[in-house]
Structure 1
Amino acid sequence: MRTSIRTAGAIALAGLLATACTEGRAAQAPPRVDLTDKVSLVSYTSCDDMLNDIRRRTAENVSPWGVGPAMYAASEDASLAATATAKGAAPDQSYSTTNVHEAGVDEPDLVKTDGQRIITVSQGVLRVVDIESRRVTGTLRLVPKEQAWARADLLISGNRALVLFEGMGGMIPLGAMAKVRPGSSGSTYMLVDLSGAPKVLATMTADGTHVDARQVGSTVRLVVRSQPNITLPPPKPDMSESRLLERNRRAVLAAPVNAWLPSFQIVADGVTRTDAVKCEQISHPAEYTGTSMLTVHTIDLAADQTFSPDSPISVAADGDTVYGTATSLYVTSNPRWWARPMIIDDMPMPTPRVSDRPRKPAPTPTTPPERTEVHRFDITGAGSPRYVDSGSVPGRLLNQYSLSESKGNLRVATTSNSETFGGTRETSESGVYVLDATSLSSVGSVTGLGKGERIYSVRFIGDVGYVVTFKQTDPLYALDLRDPADPKVTGELKISGYSSYLHPGGEGRLLGIGQEATESGQTLGTQISLFDVSDPASPKIVSRFLQEKSASEAEWDPHAFVYWPQSGLAMLPLQSWAGDFVQGSSALVLKVGDGGIDKIGMINHPSENQGDGSFAPVDNGIRRCVVIGNTIWTVSDSGLKVSDATSLADRAWIPFA
């Protein structure tokens, strides 16, 4: 049996944890990664240049159990209408779109609409629903019924939809012939024609894990993370760690260059093409581990061709968060967020030692400072993006809302030394750092926010920033960002509970979605807060609505939240429970006025189970809400309900058979 670096990841983590607790074993030191403010990338000049360097880098970071995978938190501001209203402009559309971070930059979600039709993907089936007739007019099964659990999202442009399957684990959708390498997580993207009966035009399977995607106009950028595909020799009984390490290093140093090259397969018109990113299309920082690659694929949904094999570019770096504007794509990572393998100080290979030879003194374990690397790509041109520059800031991001580009600067909010990220709560604090968007060099910063706490939500609106930290109460900080070189806290508001998502709520208003909590920090239920932020020096709470014993998907996925400023409606899925049992999932509809929040009511889907006994039963819990004209459309795995936007009276039920 042979052990792959990919499949050895879990073993590596378990072994490293065991090492820290076993007497007589060497302590693990962190990999050597330069985390200065500048992390500029350079491109390889050839495959020989790449192979010589990346072999050595990876060998320096291999452990006796394999190459430890980077571990990162999953990772998210307003709809076009909400953004326009916040700026004082009147929205001109009669339907809501996906709640996204930046106006004009679409994000993948499980439902899309163009005002004439709703396109959804759930339980492995894509459906097209006509708004006027309220009928399902097109259905396309994408995966076999027994694989209906596969998570998928959508992006659309005109009569084309891109279906994004995340981490398929080698599972191949119907009609696809491509296969990922053994042990690969695999990410599959399907291009679907919606002009008639839905049909698959092409499928691309990328060898790696889907990170995220952004769409500007009809152009989509897909970000995929992959690890080297190197087969390591199997361990033998009673083999010392030094021998295991030596064998693994030898395997890495003998691996061919294509072990690192991110590969992908395209199936179109019954023809399968296997390809990989070219060496000259891969960049790397001066210091890197060689344990992961970030690849950006480009596809134009309006073009005649399908997937282009010449479009991808890669960076020898890790990545967990994607943020996009109309002109820039940012990918961030934290190289320290992983199980730390053994450091190698003597290259090339050391002389083998017998297992009972005295060891050199182990290096003193250290906890490296957390820093987040930021890579920026220019996406203004057609085709592949252009790498611009890289930089880094202290601490770790919460999600994409921790990033905001404005007036030539990038604002980044992070938490340092949080217990969530391996530190102690007592030493944690947060800050906002301003970088020049072109060079990603430091411009200014404000730190010391929420000492002993961590960030729960961030929102940047123009020259003002809002940061929520939480331990037992919810300090909402207002920041003045007009002077990038000297950002400062202008106001602070402490209330119970916290907001995990912040949304513009009209002129001088801010909405917070989160949880109410006791004085000890115990959560009580979903809380929607309305803040008066017209005076940044003195933010105030206007109104709070609490639904006890409940939680909402919108707390961790803002795509689930809708704010419709024309009527002041706010909608979000709500899961309620009694004791230890879930009672059901509904859509909560609220009216947000200048002076407060009022409950309009709840929308529920029929409770009949339409499951067929397959592995993935149908869930009638509501996941998304869409406003179209004077109606609210709610989406679940079991179907679509149309409700009156004023009275919430039922208008139609469209079951997904």
Structure 2
Amino acid sequence: MKKWIILGGVSLLFIAGLSYYFLTQFKLVNAWEENEEAIVMANKVWSIQFTEKISTESLRSDSIFVLDDQGKKIKTALSLSDDQKTVYIDPPKEGYQLNAKFYTLHFKKDLESSAGRNLGRDTSWKFVVKEDLPVIGSKDELNDYYKNLLKEEERTSSGGWFSSDTSESGMSEEKSSADKAANTEYSQTNNQVQGVDEADIVKTDGKHIFQAEENEIRIIKAAPEDDMKLLSKISYPGEFTPNQLFLHEGKLAVIGNQYHYTSNPYEEMEKDSKILPMMMSTKAVIYDVKNPAKPVLIREVELEGSYMSARKVESMVYLVTMHHPDYWLLRENEGLDIRPKYSDTASGTGEKIVSYDEINYFPESKESNYTMIAAFDLNQPGKKAAVTTYLGSGEQMYMSKENLYLAVANWAEYPRGNWTEMPAPDTTIHKFSIKGMDVEFQGSALVQGTVLNQFSMDEHDGHFRVVTTKGYAWDESRPSSNALYILDENLKPTGKLESLARGERIYSARFMGDRIYMVTFKETDPLFVIEASNPAKPKVLGELKIPGFSNYLHPYDENHLIGFGHDTKIVVEKGAGAQPRILTDGVKISLFDVSDMHNPKEKFTEIIGGRGTYSPLNDDHKALLFNKDKNVFAFPISVYQNSQENEYDQIFEFQGAYVYSIDSDKGFELQSKINHNTNGQPSIYEEYDPAIKRLLYISNTLYALSPGKITSHDLKSYRHIGTLGLR
């Protein structure tokens, strides 16, 4: 008996030792499959992550290099990430040549980690270069694409770190379109780029107000302001939820989520039809609202998948969705058709399936999502929409008047479940040119780190600029860092700033022509002032450290910047080795003086409430109403005060909107508090119906909209004028 116990113990020790040996080996994390030939674009930047820090002495052109099909070494550049675990292999200056039949990327076994371990064996990857995006072309190719993803998942783990089916959400040479309203009689959505309209829950044409709320669209006659009228309602069944609007010359586009319910079980439907049914889609419903009292349905465009974002340039709408197909069903039934679907009443009734020849794919991507982009003209409801489809998703979107950019974090490149540290992905930027109905892929580029939101990206004088965070602020063993990357019109690197604010992450950014502002945070709020008139050599000119953070930045004028975020308090903990705690406090508004770029100053501040105080503007820039000439800075807000008995308790105080005036010499002055409380009585807790969601103005009248009512106010005295109940 003892003999068997001893033998069992020895076996367990051997297995444990063997497991430890393999788990602690220095190796590539995102290794390519053996004998697999990769397809890449000409400007491919290889991002190779290792399990350990790499010895800088062993990182040489003879340890990692690329050979062409004739065995000739290609001139590439090697660089290391801040944590020394990722190697970046830049392409030749003019990109990889298309006349080579193939290239081979080599990793020599003498490449060492900082701990002295080497790779143990030579490794090589073969790849070919394509000029344009390849297309799937056939059912077999599409199935093979997804079967390879299934193999990868089975090889690494049963799941992933995160689902990739997630979505959205500077003045450059132009001013913010909120300022543009100063020259008109009514306000517009607070858009990022002038001339590029963003969909929102409220729109106005200066006479009428259009509001998306729950399952209906409300069309309100705004004048006279003391006698507003609800002209019409467009109600929808529970399967459709409207949540975004565009308005253009008497045409209203209502964008929302469409759910397709069926009495048959999902599995039975796919067995019967061999085509996966469309379960969720994004639908744009177009109305003629020249007579607002009688809106007329004129068109519907529907794309399978969830809503990512949308933009409008003049009468052209660009609608972008992400679709995550149930490709795991191919394990049981390879005959299934998992192509995405769409419909457009301008081209007939019924669903259409995207042709195999029209499904493009990003060759370096291992994403399972489809991205669909539909372009359609509000002024030509009978003209068929142009739908382009790509295998590979985007998470954030930025659009100028000429180009659309999608940013996707490369989570799918890293194996899941076979290592102990969470990966710190990089981001691929995809560029598409926009010209009327034509949406054409222009190229891709890799930047280190991840993108926070659309304000982290910008296009200016032919260059694309983006700020990113690499790593995680909470990971002290691999401190995060932040960077600015500037790419030319072909997405080739032009200039960069790296290793900014180590241990922190980006909370907000704003691009204003040659000036770039970026806020990072962990314990204090550094505002970086960057000058980029020479795209090849951007420079940090100034830095300001203050308590709190701004998660939205808005231009006031060329020398002043408004920051909107939260105040913070540092709580010092007792005990040896105790770390201080950071508590988020009230909403904080700051006016920064950046006239001296080398010495930025927080000129004025306003703190509203205590912990728990929150404004939709903290997460959604479209919640802001700002006009410098009319001296109005207004936003919805819920205010809480701190309890004196417990630092974690909050006392509800107010729900509604605050209206401020701003003066660069006097600072912020609260002009009015607007609330939609029932019968004008103070509430004891937050409620849904009185929650003001948007503010706008028409001529000299301010309007506040909540789910339950709309109120009008004099824009100079803020005297209440009229109320219209909407329930």
TM-score, normalized by length of structure 2?
0.72
Q: What amino acid maps onto 2:351 in structure 1?
A: T
Give the superposition deviation at 1:419: 4.4
User: Which protein is bigger by CA-based radius of gyration?
Assistant: 2
1:372 is aligned to 2:427: yes
Q: Does the Cα contact within 8 Å between 1:189 and 1:203 map onto a contact in 2?
A: yes
CA distance in 1, matches of 2:457, 2:203: 25
Q: Does the Cα contact within 8 Å between 1:493 and 1:540 map onto a contact in 2?
A: yes
Q: Does the Cα contact within 8 Å between 2:150 and 2:328 map onto a contact in 1?
A: no
1:276 is aligned to 2:353: yes
CA distance in 2, matches of 1:448, 1:66: 32
CA distance in 2, matches of 1:527, 1:67: 37
Q: Does the Cα contact within 8 Å between 1:533 and 1:539 map onto a contact in 2?
A: yes
CA distance in 2, matches of 1:574, 1:644: 20
Task: Report the equivalent of 1:304.
Answer: 381
Task: Report the equivalent of 2:410.
Answer: 335
Task: Report the equivalent of 1:567.
Answer: 630
- Note the alpha carbon deviations across 1:458-515, whole angstroms, 9 max, x for none: 0000001000001111100000111111111000011110100000012311000000
Within-5 A mapping of 1:416-455: 416-419=470-473, 423-424=475-476, 427-436=479-488, 438-455=489-506
Task: Please say which of residues 455-464 and 220-229 is displaced more in the overlay.
Answer: 220-229
1:386 is aligned to 2:444: no
What SS does the corresponding residue of 2:142 show, helix, strand or coil?
Answer: helix
Say which of 230, 233, 243 aligns to 1:152: 243
Q: What amino acid maps onto 1:427 in structure 2?
A: P
1:504 is aligned to 2:555: yes
CA distance in 2, matches of 1:656, 1:90: 27
- Note the alpha carbon deviations across 1:393-420, whole angstroms, 9 max, x for none: 0001110000000011111000011147
Say which of 591, 615, 618 aligns to 1:530: 591
User: Structure 2 vs 1, CA of residues 369 and 606 (structure 1 numbering), >3 Å: closer, same or farther?
Assistant: closer
Task: Report the equivalent of 2:365.
Answer: 288
Task: Please say which of residues 290-299 and 450-459 is displaced more in the overlay.
Answer: 290-299
> Percentage identity across aligned positions?
26
Q: What amino acid maps onto 2:243 in structure 1?
A: A
Within-5 A mapping of 1:235-274: 250-251=331-332, 254-256=334-336, 258-259=337-338, 261-267=339-345, 272-274=349-351
Task: Report the equivalent of 2:255.
Answer: 164
User: Structure 2 vs 1, CA of residues 597 and 584 (structure 1 numbering), >3 Å: closer, same or farther?
Assistant: closer
Q: 5+ unaligned residues in a row in structure 2: which ranges?
A: 1-18, 33-37, 39-45, 48-88, 92-129, 263-274, 572-581, 642-648, 681-686
Task: Report the equivalent of 1:187.
Answer: 282
Task: Report the equivalent of 1:228.
Answer: 325
Give the superposition deviation at 1:147: 6.9
Task: Report the equivalent of 1:360.
Answer: none
Q: What amino acid maps onto 1:204 in structure 2?
A: V
CA distance in 2, matches of 1:333, 1:114: 35
Within-5 A mapping of 1:340-419: 340-341=415-416, 368-380=423-435, 382-419=436-473
- Note the alpha carbon deviations across 1:251-281, whole angstroms, 9 max, x for none: 48x255x31x221234579x73211223333
CA distance in 2, matches of 1:471, 1:516: 12
User: Structure 2 vs 1, CA of residues 266 and 608 (structure 1 numbering), >3 Å: closer, same or farther?
Assistant: farther
What SS does the corresponding residue of 1:298 show, helix, strand or coil?
Answer: strand
Give the superposition deviation at 1:338: 9.2
CA distance in 2, matches of 1:556, 1:158: 30
User: Structure 2 vs 1, CA of residues 419 and 263 (structure 1 numbering), >3 Å: closer, same or farther?
Assistant: farther
Give the superposition deviation at 1:456: 0.4
Q: Does the Cα contact within 8 Å between 1:584 and 1:621 map onto a contact in 2?
A: no
What SS does the corresponding residue of 1:626 show, helix, strand or coil?
Answer: strand
Say which of 694, 702, 713 aligns to 1:643: 713
Provide the aligned length of Structure 1 versus Structure 2. 570
User: Structure 2 vs 1, CA of residues 525 and 368 (structure 1 numbering), >3 Å: closer, same or farther?
Assistant: closer
User: Structure 2 vs 1, CA of residues 435 and 67 (structure 1 numbering), >3 Å: closer, same or farther?
Assistant: same
Task: Report the equivalent of 2:269.
Answer: none
- Note the alpha carbon deviations across 1:285-327, whole angstroms, 9 max, x for none: 2222251111111111111316x35x11122112111111000
RMSD: 3.4
Give the superposition deviation at 1:186: 2.4
User: Structure 2 vs 1, CA of residues 284 and 131 (structure 1 numbering), >3 Å: closer, same or farther?
Assistant: same
Within-5 A mapping of 1:454-473: 454-473=505-524
What SS does the corresponding residue of 1:44 show, helix, strand or coil?
Answer: coil
Task: Please say which of residues 455-464 and 411-420 is displaced more in the overlay.
Answer: 411-420
Q: Does the Cα contact within 8 Å between 2:168 and 2:397 map onto a contact in 1?
A: no
Give the superposition deviation at 1:655: 1.5
Give the superposition deviation at 1:69: 6.5
CA distance in 2, matches of 1:452, 1:335: 21
Q: What amino acid maps onto 2:352 in structure 1?
A: D
CA distance in 2, matches of 1:268, 1:138: 28
TM-score, normalized by length of structure 1?
0.79
CA distance in 2, matches of 1:457, 1:295: 28
Q: What amino acid maps onto 1:318 in structure 2?
A: S
Q: What amino acid maps onto 2:400 in structure 1?
A: T
1:323 is aligned to 2:410: no
User: Structure 2 vs 1, CA of residues 90 and 298 (structure 1 numbering), >3 Å: closer, same or farther?
Assistant: closer
CA distance in 1, matches of 2:177, 2:231: 33
CA distance in 2, matches of 1:503, 1:534: 15
Task: Please say which of residues 57-66 and 73-82 is displaced more in the overlay.
Answer: 73-82
Task: Report the equivalent of 2:138.
Answer: 47
Task: Report the equivalent of 2:98.
Answer: none
CA distance in 1, matches of 2:207, 2:172: 18
- Greater relative contact order structure (CA < 8 Å, 6+ sep): 1
Task: Report the equivalent of 2:673.
Answer: 602
Q: Does the Cα contact within 8 Å between 2:255 and 2:285 map onto a contact in 1?
A: yes
